[in-house]
Amino acid sequence: MKDYTQPEFHVDIDYSKCHKCGRCVGQCGWGVYKFNERPIPDDSKCRACHRCVTFCPAHCITIKKSELAYRENANWEPQTRKNIWRQAATGGVLLTSMGASRPQQSIFDHLVLDACQVTNPSIDPLREPMELRTYLGNAEKGPAIKIETPLTFAPMSYGAVSLNVHKSMAMAASRLGILMNTGEGGLHADLYPYQDNVIVQVASGRFGVDPEYLNRGAAIEIKVGQGAKPGIGGHLPGEKINQEVSVTRMIPQGTDAISPAPHHDIYSIEDLRQLIYSLKEASGYKPVGVKIACVNNVGAIASGVVRAGADYVYLDGFRGGTGAAPAVIRDNVGIPLEIAIAVVDQRLRDEGIRQQASIIAAGSIRSSADLAKAIALGADSCAIGSAALIALGCHLCQGCHTGCCSWGLTTQKPELTRRLDPEEGAQRLVNLVNAWSHELQEILGALGVNAIESLRGSRERLRAVDLDEQTCKILGVKPAGM
Amino acid sequence: MSEVITGYYQTQPSIAFSGEGAEKTAIVQCKSIYYKQVNETVRAAIEEGAHRIVLQGINGQRYIGDGIVAKDVTIIVEGVAGQDLAMFMGGATVEVLANAQDGVGNTMDSGEVYIHGHAGDVIGYGMRGGAVYIRDDVGYRVGIHMKEFKSHKPLIVAGGCARDFFGEYMAGGELILLGLDSQGQRSDQPLVGNYIGTGMHGGVIYLRGEIQPFQCGKEVGIFAAEEKDLASIKKHLEKYVELFATDFGSDPAELLEELLSSKWTKLSPTSSRPYGNLYAPL
């Protein structure tokens, strides 16, 4: 059927500067370019990932937004019309990746941090010790997990991302004294040397889960939900299940890896407790966390999770990333992370069980500012997925589900995955986390405290700008000026 | 390492060893002992070199055999085994001389489980390998998302009837349902419920008897089992009658003959990628 949609981008090559070297042809994972004496682009395939632009020696490629005019209609935006054409032609569920991209208000952007002036001196972190070390787990039973800065890498499975991405994160986590997370895709043998800095995940498909896997991780995480797609399962398409992925997931090559929406052995909080303790029994009582997506009733759910015996609750907000999710779910289901952190922290405090579990917050932590604000709202630590991928070269073209990532991150094609050198990748991640940690120390210094512990749940050090009264009340944050 | 779970009666069970080498047996008294101490004792007995561990006085303790990685070890459970029996287990054999609750063989890796009675819901969820033989009925959601990889090929044989969601999301391995009652005769209960094999994309289900297409998920192909199919499952049926025929007071050879001469239905997936065309990638 004729595709009624038009290209979103225009690939503009200045042929007067072009070396005719053909590097763009090789660099593009989407097959935009053909070479006939000079590179000839097919605009319709371009996702604006800028791989060709970055590696063009002549700097002669510019990706432009298509200037094609649509008749103005604020209600029927061009994207809406295009989606209808696509679905009318295919009958398919629109599939996309990375986090929600619609222009919804970010609460983090409406929160500002406090600082000391005159009456209470600020601290210079360059001259004085500033403690970022964080312990996760049940404080009543003693600390279970130690991380040197309140940041971990978010679960992204081998299969959704390449092995070199996993290696980069594992090496970086090991050097930083933090944790990476396997996601639901098993643990490749190449990561065994870093196992003390790895959280192994158990999700509904139980891919790659065997007794050895459970015993290798520093902690085990039960994945119940994901911020990008609360309430639905995952389908890793057969194209991404190559030989190595099939070994790690322990499923045949080329079949779909289907994760059911629920765990079929968890239909209640009692069942969740049963799974938590079966994992503890099987692993010699390692810490077990539970990852849930932020949804309406998240306070009560988190309370149940903590009472079920989880050592941490991982809250994934509605802007959280994904390797593939139906666009309708990604863009419309779930609640903002900021609200969820505040509600869960308060609920656990009200019930007197806050000390029984830590809170890890994730779902589009974009900067050290978001990190500091999340901790002030009540999180113990944050996790970064999208930010880590961006550090490795991701340009947020939202094409992970195609398996053609030009940056070699969310693909299994060997000619693409080799583009990421794990050593260099690890260094980029170490640099990013160190930079954020320094910034976090600066924030703490300005606040006049010398340990991240002093900021945790300290909502008094936050103020809201342009947030309505009800939202302020839920967040437990006063408006600026009060 | 040792976590105290408050509110339960917790003492170490008594343990007595006998025999040497491959004959070494541990007898463990588990009456009123909390599961954690029972399982610690099982692990300790394996460390001590026991090849046969008899758990006496079991009454619903959970997680027996959970995460145990051991070859040539047989755990005999005298009493009703609790939830998640043999979960994540690798290599051992567990024989229950009574009924078992839910979650038998959950995410099991390898080894064998024999239940001389009924078993509950969610048997063999995400099971990767090994075999579970259940003499009588099973509940709902049995064999969900069983999967196979190379030498790992899980098997569940249930002697009685099953409820809904049998083999849902099945990705590999074999599920066999015999439809016998507790006397070893053809049961007068419905053989199996609805939503059989919904989302199935691997493996095979054999049912002794016939079903209606409406009972199955749309991803399932329904066939009358042929001679070569029965030949392929004959060894599993032989094992079943060897284990349980004497429980019924039946002759193993006669029971096997009766099973093999019945009409069988074979269910297999129509595609290894049932959702391959579901999406319109953006």
Instruction: Name the token pair of A225.
Output: 């939900």
Q: Are A258 and B83 an interchain contact pair (Cβ–Cβ within 8 Å)?
A: no
- A284 to chain B, any CB pair closer than 8 A? The answer is yes
Pairwise CB contact (< 8 Å): B144 & A401: no
CA distance A438 to A432: 10
The two beta strands, A61-65 and A9-13, are antiparallel
pLDDT, tens digit (0-9, with 9 covering 90-100), for A92-135: 999 999 999 888 899 999 999 999 999 889 999 999 999 999 99
- Average pLDDT on A182-211 reads 96
Query: Quick one: which of B186, B200, B185 has its CA closest to B267?
Result: B200
pLDDT of the residue at B3 = 55
Half-sphere exposure of A136 (CA within 13 A, CB side): 34
B251 phi, psi to nearest 5 deg: -85, 125
| Closest to B202 (Cα-Cα) out of A253, A412, A247 | A253
How far A225 CA sits from the closest chain B CA (Å)?
18
Between chain A and chain B, how many beta carbons pairs sit less than 8 Å apart? Answer: 147
Q: Do B145 and A251 touch (CB under 8 A)?
A: no
Of B144, B149, B276, nearest to A238 by CB-CB distance is: B276
Q: For chain A, say whether B66 makes contact (Cβ under 8 Å).
A: yes
Give the chain B residue nearest A144 (alpha carbons): B1
Tell me whether A44 touches chain B (CB under 8 Å): no
Q: Do B282 and A94 touch (CB under 8 A)?
A: yes
Q: What does each C-alpha distance from A18 to A65, A125, A477 come to in angstroms?
A: 21, 49, 55
Instruction: Please give the span between the terminal C-alpha atoms of chain A, in angstroms, as a whole number.
Output: 61
Quote the CA–CA distance of A476 and A346 in Å, as a whole number.
Answer: 9
Inter-chain residue contact A252 with B148, CB threshold 8 Å: yes
Contacting residues of B for A217, CB less than 8 Å apart? none
Establish if B103 touches chain A: CB-CB under 8 angstroms.
yes
Q: Which amino acid does the sequence have at A360?
A: I
Confirm or reject contact between B281 and chain A (CB < 8 A).
yes
| Residue (of A207, A211, A212, A218) closest to A247 by Cα position | A207
**C-alpha distance from A278 to closest chain B C-alpha (Å):** 6
Q: Exposed e or buried b for every residue in A208-245, given b needs 16+ CB within 10 A?
A: bbbbebbbbbbbbbbbbbbbbbbebbbbbbbbbbbebb
The answer, for A463 touching chain B at a CB cutoff of 8 Å, is no
Q: Can you tell me the distance from the alpha carbon of A184 to that of A203, in angstroms, rounded to the nearest whole number?
A: 6
A469-477 long-range contacts, CB within 8 A, separation 24+: A471/A107, A471/A339, A474/A339, A474/A342, A474/A343, A475/A107, A475/A111, A475/A338, A475/A339, A475/A342, A475/A377, A476/A342, A476/A346, A476/A377, A477/A111, A477/A342, A477/A377
Taking the Cβ of residue B6 and every Cβ of chain A, the question of whether any pair is shorter than 8 Å is answered with no
Of B175, B142, B136, the residue nearest B157 (C-alpha): B175
pTM of the entire structure? 0.95
Predicted local distance difference test score (pLDDT) of residue B278: 87
Interface contact flag, B126 A278, Cβ < 8 Å: no
Q: Does A277 touch chain B (CB under 8 A)?
A: yes
β-pairing, A93-96 vs A325-326, is antiparallel
pLDDT at B8: 57
Nearest-angstrom CA–CA distance, A166 and A179 = 12
Q: Which residues pair with B158 in a beta bridge?
A: B134, B177
Give dist(CA A70, CA A47) in Å, integer. Answer: 20
Q: How far apart are the C-alpha atoms of A198 and A181, rounded to whole Å?
A: 6
Residue B1 has a pLDDT of 40
Residues from chain A that touch B202, judged by Cβ atoms under 8 A, are 252, 255
What residues of chain B, 175 to 194, have a C-beta less than 8 Å from chain A?
Answer: none
3-state per-residue secondary structure call for A207-268: CCCCHHHHHHCCEEEEECCCCCCCCCCEEECHHHCCHHHHHHHCCCCCCCEEECCCCCCCCC
A230-268 pLDDT, tens digit per residue, is 999 888 878 788 999 999 998 888 888 888 889 999 999
* Chain A contact for B171 (CB, 8 A cutoff): yes
CB contact under 8 A, B147 and A250: yes
> Which residue from B67, B90, B282 is facing A281, i.e. has the nearest CB?
B67
**Residue A323 to residue A228: CA distance in whole angstroms:** 9
Helix, strand or coil for residue A412? coil
Report the b/e string of A55-79 with b at 16+ CB within 10 A: ebebebbebeeeeeeeeeeeeeebe
The candidate with the shortest Cα–Cα distance to B61, out of B92, B29, B88, is B29
CB contact (8 A) between residue B69 and residue A214: no
Instruction: Assess whether pLDDT exceeds 80 at residue A367.
Output: yes
Q: What's the rounded mean pLDDT across residues A333-362?
A: 98
Determine, for residues A258 and B88 on separate chains, whether the beta-carbon distance falls below 8 Å.
Answer: no
Phi and psi based region of residue B100 (left: phi greater than 0; alpha: psi -120 to 50; beta: remaining) = beta
Which region holds residue A349: left if phi is over 0, alpha if psi is between -120 and 50, else beta? alpha
B89 in contact with chain A, both atoms CB, cutoff 8 A: yes
Two structure tokens written together for A270: 């009692």
Distances (CA, A) of A300 to A266, A295, A340, A376, B33: 17, 10, 11, 21, 33
Per-residue pLDDT at A227 exceeds 70? yes
**Tokens read off for A326:** 């139906």
The pair phi, psi for residue A447, each rounded to 5°, is -80, -10
Among the partner residues B2, B272, B278, nearest to A255 by beta-carbon distance: B272
For an interface test with A, give the residue of B47, B68, B123, B145 to mutate (most A CBs within 10 A): B145
Whether A255 sits inside 8 A of B273 (CB atoms) is yes
Nearest CA in chain B to A263: B125
**How high does pLDDT run on average in chain A?**
96
The residue in chain B having the minimum alpha-carbon distance to the alpha carbon of residue A202 is B107
Per-position b or e across B235-252, b if 16+ CB within 10 A of its CB: ebbebbbebbbebbebeb
Burial class (CB in 10 A: 0-12, 13-18, 19+), A292: buried
- Interface check for B84 against chain A (CB to CB < 8 A): the answer is yes
What is the rounded radius of gyration, in angstroms, for the C-alpha atoms of chain B? Answer: 20
Q: Given CB atoms, is B122 within the 8 Å cutoff of chain A?
A: yes
Query: CB burial class (10 A; 0-12, 13-18, 19+) of residue A480?
Result: middle
H/E stretch holding A274: helix A269-283
* A465 inside 8 A of chain B by CB: no
**Dist. CA A220–CA A276, nearest whole Å:** 9
- Quick one: which of A83, A94, A80, A75 has its CA closest to A328? A94
Q: Which of A210, A267, A401 to mutate to test binding with chain B, by most B CBs within 10 Å of its CB? A: A210
Q: What is the pLDDT of residue A257?
A: 87
Helices B252-260 and B227-248 cross at an angle (nearest 10°) of 150
Residue ranges of alpha helices (H) inside A14-162 are 23-27, 51-55, 78-90
pLDDT of residue B282: 87
Give A306's DSSP letter: H
10-residue mean pLDDT series, chain B (282 residues): 56 92 95 92 96 97 96 97 97 98 97 98 97 98 95 96 96 97 95 96 96 95 96 97 97 96 96 84 88
Considering only alpha carbons, which residue of chain B is nearest residue A241?
A: B273
H helix runs in A284-367, sequence order: 298-307, 327-332, 337-350
Residue B71: its chain A contacts at CB < 8 A? none
